[in-house]
Amino acid sequence: MPDDFVAVAQVDDLPEGRGKEVRVGETLIALFRVGDRVYAIDAICPHRGGPLAEGPLEGTVVTCPWHAWQFDVATGQNLRNPASRVTCHEVRIEGNTVYVKVSS
- Which member of 69, 71, 98, 99 binds ligand FES (CB under 6 A)? 69
Query: What is the rounded CA–CA span in Å between residue 33 and residue 26?
Result: 22
- Which member of 22, 38, 50, 72 binds ligand FES (CB under 6 A)? 50
Output the 3-class SS for 61-99: EEECCCCCCEEECCCCEECCCCCCECCEEEEEEECCEEE
- Work out the angle at residue 76's Cα, subtended by the Cα atoms of residues 72 and 82, and round it to the nearest 5 degrees: 90
* Nearer to ligand FES (CB atom), residue 50 or residue 76: 50
> Per rule CB under 6 A, is residue 64 in the interface with ligand FES?
yes
* Nearer to ligand FES (CB atom), residue 45 or residue 98: 45
Binding segment toward ligand FES, per CB under 6 A, in 10-18, 19-27, 66-74, 87-95:
66-74
> Per rule CB under 6 A, is residue 62 in the interface with ligand FES?
no
Which conformational region is residue 68 in: left (phi greater than 0), alpha (psi within -120 to 50 degrees), or beta? left
> Per rule CB under 6 A, is residue 47 in the interface with ligand FES?
yes
Which residues contribute to the site for ligand FES (CB under 6 A)?
45, 47-50, 64, 66-67, 69
